[in-house]
Amino acid sequence: MAKLIIDDLHLSYGSTEILKGITATFAQGEIVALLGRSGSGKTTLLRSIAGLEEPKKGVISIGDQPVFDAAAGLNVPSEKRGLGLVFQSYALWPHKTVFENVAYGLRLRNVPKAELQQRVAAVLDGVGLGHLGDRYPHQMSGGQQQRVALARALVYNPPVILLDEPLSNLDAKLREEARIWIRTLIKRMNLTAVFVTHDQVEAMAIADRIVLLDGGRIVQAGTPEQLYTEPVSLFASEFMGVNNQIKSRVQDKRGGYARIELSGHPLWGKDRAGKGVSEEATGVIRLEQVEVVDGEGENRVPAELETSVYLGSHWEHVFRCGDQTLRAFGRPLPAGTHWLHLPPEQLWVF
C-alpha cells in the first residue's frame, strides 16, 4: 500500500526552478533514499513533504489524505501533518533536557502524564539512551545527539519519518555503525522512512530503494542493485560507483552492443544510449570489472602500468593506454605492459 504519494511537484525560488516535476510513490514499511549532489533539489523535496517549503504545483498525499494540492489551494501546515523529521543539525532545543525534547511532541498531543513518561522512556531505551534523559543536549556527544533527534521524531508514531542527511555530522567510524542501527531500528518498527543523502554508499547501505535526483528531476529510481548494475545514464553510472571512462566514437552496432575503440583496439560494450554510428560516445566500466589477463583476445587492450597504490585489502593500479588512463584492482604487478580485459556485458556505452 502506498504511504506517501508525490505527484508532479514543482517548486521555484523566485525565477529559479528547484523542483521540475517530481513524481514518486513510497510504500508502507519502505526505506527510500533521496540521493543527489548539492543543489539537486533533494533537501527541498524532503522539506516540501514536511510542509516547510511551499511548492507551486503538484500534489502530496500521506496515506489517502492529500496534505498539499496546489490546484485545490490545500497546504496543511507542518504541525498538522504529523510527520517526524530528523534535521541535519539535529535542531535539539538547548533549553530543554533530553527527556523534555522527546516529550514535547507528546505534550502537544495532550498525552496523560503516566503514559508520556512510559512512552518517552521506551523510545529513549530504543535508541540506547534510557539513562541520559536528565542531560541537556550540549552535554552529549554528536552521536548521542543524533539518537535524541531520532527519538524525538519517533515518539509520537508518525506515519512517515523524514531524515535530512542524518549521518553527515558524525565521524567516519561512527557513521558506519549508525547506518546499520538506523536501518535495523526503522525496520523493527516497520516505519516508512525517506532520507536525504549525497553519499551513494550510505544510500545503498540503508535504503530499500533509491531515488536519484539531478537538477530538480528524477534521473532513476530503483533498488540499490538496479542503480548500481543498470544505470540509465552516464550521470547515474558516475554517481553510483567508481568508473573508468573511455572517450571514443561508435564504430559499429550489432545486437544491442556497440563497438568503440581505445587507442586502436576495438571494444564491444552494451549499447545503453542508442548512439548512432560515428557519434561521440563514452564507454564506462566499473574499476572492479577490469581484469588483468595474460595475453591478447577479444575486448582486450595492452596498457603500460604507470603506478600502483596499496589500499590494504587490495592494490589499485593505474594504466596508460594511448592518451587515456585505465584503473583496475588486483594483486601486486611488475612494471611494464599488461593486457586488460573489459568484459562486453560490463562495459556500458553511453
Partner 1 sequence: MNRATRIAVIVAMAIAVLAPIGLVVYQSFLDGPFFQPKTAFTLSAYEFVLDDEDFFDALYNSAIIALGMTAIAVPVGALLAFLMTRTDLPGRRWIEPVILVPMFVSSVVLAFGFVVSLGPAGFVTLWFKGVFGFVPWYLYSKWMLIVIAGLTHVPHVFLYTSSALRSLGSDVEEAARMTGAGPLRTAMTVSLPMVMPNILYAAVLVFFLGFELFGLPLVLGDPEGILVLATYLYKLTNKLGTPSYQLMAVVVVAIICIALPLVALQRFLLRAANRYVSVKGKASAQKPVSIGVWRWPAAAMITGWLLFTVVVPISGLVLRAFVSSWGEGVNLLDVLTLAHFRELMEFPNLTRGIVNTLLIASVGGALSVGVYTMLNLAAHRWQSGWTRLMDYLVLLPRAMPGLVAGLAIFWVFLFTPFLSPLRQTMIAIWVAYTLVWLAYGMRLVSGALLQIGPELEEAGRIVGASPGRVSRDLTIPLVKVGLFSSWLLIFVTFMREYSTGVYLLAPGTEVIGSLLVSLWGTGAVDLVTALSTVNIAMIGGGLLLMSLFGKRSHG
The binding site for partner 1 (CB under 8 A) comprises 50-52, 77-80, 82-85, 87-89, 91-95, 104-105, 108-109, 152-153, 156
CB of residue 271 to partner 1, shortest distance in Å: 47
Per-residue HEC secondary structure of 30-49 comes to CEEEEECCCCCCHHHHHHHH
Report the Cα–Cα distance between both ends of the chain, in Å, rounded: 36
Q: Name the residue nearer to partner 1 (CB basis): 18 or 258.
A: 18
CB of residue 111 to partner 1, shortest distance in Å: 11
CB of residue 276 to partner 1, shortest distance in Å: 49
Q: Name the residue nearer to partner 1 (CB basis): 79 or 177.
A: 79
Q: Name the residue nearer to partner 1 (CB basis): 93 or 249.
A: 93
In sequence order, which residues have a C-beta less than 8 Å from that of residue 184 and are 6 or more positions away? none
Q: Name the residue nearer to partner 1 (CB basis): 51 or 283.
A: 51
Q: Name the residue nearer to partner 1 (CB basis): 144 or 245.
A: 144
In sequence order, which residues have a C-beta less than 8 Å from that of residue 316 and are 6 or more positions away? 287, 308, 309, 327, 328, 329
Q: How far is CA 191 from CA 27, 151, 185, 214, in A?
A: 10, 13, 9, 27
Q: Name the residue nearer to partner 1 (CB basis): 6 or 260.
A: 6
User: What is the phi/psi pair of residue 92, to 5°?
Assistant: -75, 140
Q: Name the residue nearer to partner 1 (CB basis): 36 or 84.
A: 84
CB of residue 95 to partner 1, shortest distance in Å: 5
Instruction: Annotate 287-321 with b (16+ C-beta within 10 A) or e (fewer).
Output: eebbebeeeeeebbbbbebeebeeeeeeeebebeb
CB of residue 313 to partner 1, shortest distance in Å: 37
CB of residue 283 to partner 1, shortest distance in Å: 43
CB of residue 260 to partner 1, shortest distance in Å: 46
User: What are the cell numbers at 322?
Assistant: 594511448
Rounded-to-integer distance, Cα 61 and Cα 59, Å: 7
Listed residue (114, 88, 84) closest to 102, CA to CA: 84
User: What is the phi/psi pair of residue 182, to 5°?
Assistant: -65, -45
Rounded-to-integer distance, Cα 194 and Cα 82, Å: 15
